[in-house]
Amino acid sequence: MSNVAIRDAVDTYLQRKAVGDPDGPGAGTYASNAESILRRWTEWLEGEHGVRSITELDVESMRAYAVELRRRTERGEYTASTAGTYYAVVRAFLSWCVHGGIRETNPAATDRAEDALPSAEPRPDSDTWTATQRRELERYVRERAISSASHPDRERRSRLREYAMVAVLAHSTVRGSELFRVPDDDRRTGATWDDVDFYTGTIRVLGKSQRLEDVPLPARARTPLRRYRVVLDPPSTDWPLFPTAHAPSIARRVRSVLRDRGYEEDTIESLLEDATATELARERSIAPPAITTEGARSVLRRLCEEAGINIDGDYLTPRGVRRDRSTESYRREATTSKPTLRASVLEQSIVVPDEGSPAAGGRDEPTENN
């Protein structure tokens, strides 16, 4: 790893973005808007911490920067969403450094650093919980997941699934209709593991615009999702992030795919007599259906009841879990670039305030829907 000065790395990064990235439009605009943020961050690192080179930069440095952004937010200098945008610009720059080989890891994309960022309270409405209720739910599913190490594989997988589901909904801007299956919409079949890029920290979803979008996955969402993936061990990348646990739905999918593969009905029934539909799906790499939005809602309802969270009879919807809808601006339409180039999409996905603006400076679910 080269001992490159941060100032020099920033100069190179901005120069390359200024001339335009061939893998996506708007790179020149991005460079112009991001320059002041990266310059101020570089000056702050040197002045406050004496950090001048890429090799000197570590997780504690980035946590300190997150704390500084939080302090400025508490003083009213920034909004929480602006502070998050500034941090995201720096994180994208460091992702570029990793991609270019001048750093081995991204110190900004860690739980310890990102945990210090300010978080905005959700706007009160019929679908949104208070921050306290959201924290209670997340604490409950996290503790259940942590204590599941000694449980049977099926129970452990279920608990980690629930933790990952809550974490992704709470700490990203992914909507329930983008993450889960919508029965009446043939295009919304649920996110798959092929859609997740842990390296760039993004998930590709079909947005409201009916176009594919790359959406950032913060560390608080990535870590539970990565742990869940290990125990789920999907046999193929087209496997849904959150498969249904409804056995008849899985059996229907298995039968349908086997028919398409040329199997006779007698052979299919014989195979299903020797193994469960879930076992056969894994053995034959047949991706099961994803859980539906209604199924996810029923999971959240059950978790609420188990955790004893008082929500006056209205259960948290997937849309209501989100903590800060102002981060919708981080989204960007996906490009056709190769997966190794998706970091450039993330870097350009951040809407940076103009300098002249004020902001600148389990259990099996019981229904088929599951």
> 272: which 2 tokens?
């299903």
Task: Tell me where in the chain the CATH 1.10.443 domain(s) lie.
Answer: 133-244+289-321
Pick the CATH number of 6-120 from 3.30.410, 1.10.150, 1.20.272, 3.30.1360: 1.10.150
User: Going by CATH, does the domain composed of 133-244+289-321 fall within 3.30.460?
Assistant: no
Residue 207, pLDDT score: 82
Task: Tell me where in the chain the CATH 1.10.150 domain(s) lie.
Answer: 6-120
User: What does the pLDDT average to over 296-316?
Assistant: 76
pTM of the model: 0.58
Residue with tokens 């978790």: 303
**Res 240 pLDDT > 60:** yes
Picking from 333, 169, 84, 324, the residue whose alpha carbon sits closest to that of residue 92 is: 84
Residue with tokens 């310890």: 112
> 43: which 2 tokens?
């000056």
Q: Edge-to-edge strand order for the sheet containing 196-197?
A: 196-197, 202-206, 212-216, 332-333
**Res 9 pLDDT > 70:** yes
Instruction: Report the C-alpha gap between 26 and 17 in whole angstroms.
Output: 9
Task: Encode pLDDT of 145-173 as tens digits.
Answer: 999 888 899 999 999 999 999 999 888 88
**Bridge partners, residue 192, by sequence:** 240
- Between 206 and 82, whose confidence is greater? 206
User: What does the pLDDT average to over 274-291?
Assistant: 95
Residue 356, pLDDT score: 35
User: What does the pLDDT average to over 341-364?
Assistant: 37
Task: Encode pLDDT of 250-270 as tens digits.
Answer: 999 999 999 999 999 999 999
Q: Are 41 and 87 in contact (CB under 8 A)?
A: no
Picking from 85, 1, 11, the residue whose alpha carbon sits closest to that of residue 347 is: 85
Least confident of 48-52, 198-202, 342-346: 342-346
**Bridge partners, residue 197, by sequence:** 202
Residue 195, pLDDT score: 95
- Residue 178, number of CB atoms within 10 A of its CB: 23
Where does the pLDDT of residue 42 fall: very low under 50, low under 70, confident under 90, or very high at 90 and above?
very high
